[in-house]
Amino acid sequence: MDTIKKISDRRGLVDVIIGILVFGSLWGLSEIALGGALKAASFPYRSGLLTGIGMAVMAMALAVSRKPLIPIGVGAVAVLVGLLVVPVLHVSPMCRANSSLALVLEAGSLTFAASLVASRRGKSVYGRMATGGSAALLASVAFYFAGTHFAPCAYLLSFTPGSFVVKEGLVWAAFSAILLPLGYSAGERLAENRLTVVTRRSALYSGSSLVVAACWGISALALALGL
């Protein structure tokens, strides 16, 4: 029995690591490829939409794994994807400082917000909307104060704390409140299908590896193309 339990625990840990790599890579890809495309199109709510997508991806990971700290790992992988800019374009990691900081704070804020509403009420659609909105709002406040000290830029310094929350934070919160419940629902459906796939672990692992490799490869290509 102890041997079976150890094998089960080991497989569970491997599944969590795979989930972190897959969802973190997807989030990183959206930040680079979609973020670059939105910037080129001068989309006015680019940061809000990207924040909402990030919250949705982390919510999917939460629904699949049921591990409350998994957003931290997902955010860390997304940061690493963004740092592909260093070897691809031969620039300093500091050029991604604020972007990396934002991802870390979004992951931490969602982990904190989700822990506060981990009740039955928090599992309703409205509870998930509140979780996404509050996490994004908290991340925006933390980002303003951390960003102005860590890697201040002209855009960030043009705001007061209140004006930043009104112009950026509320937009982040609105997109996150809409997209996080959608991501969680998608994750629940994915978890149901995963129960049948997990019996064929070789297919699960090879498919996950392909997704991760594709995300990193497309992200590197997007950076090389100037996105």
* Domain range for 72: 2-224
Q: How many domains does the chain have?
A: 1
User: What global pTM score does this model have?
Assistant: 0.91
Q: Which amino acid, 42?
A: S
- Each residue's pLDDT tens digit in the chain (227 positions)? 555 445 455 667 888 899 999 999 999 999 999 999 999 999 999 999 999 999 999 999 999 988 889 999 999 999 999 999 999 999 999 889 999 999 999 999 999 998 877 655 557 899 999 999 999 999 999 999 999 988 888 889 999 999 999 999 999 999 999 999 999 999 999 888 765 555 566 777 888 999 999 999 999 999 999 88
Residue 216: CB atoms within 10 Å: 18
Q: Are 27 and 78 in contact (CB under 8 A)?
A: yes
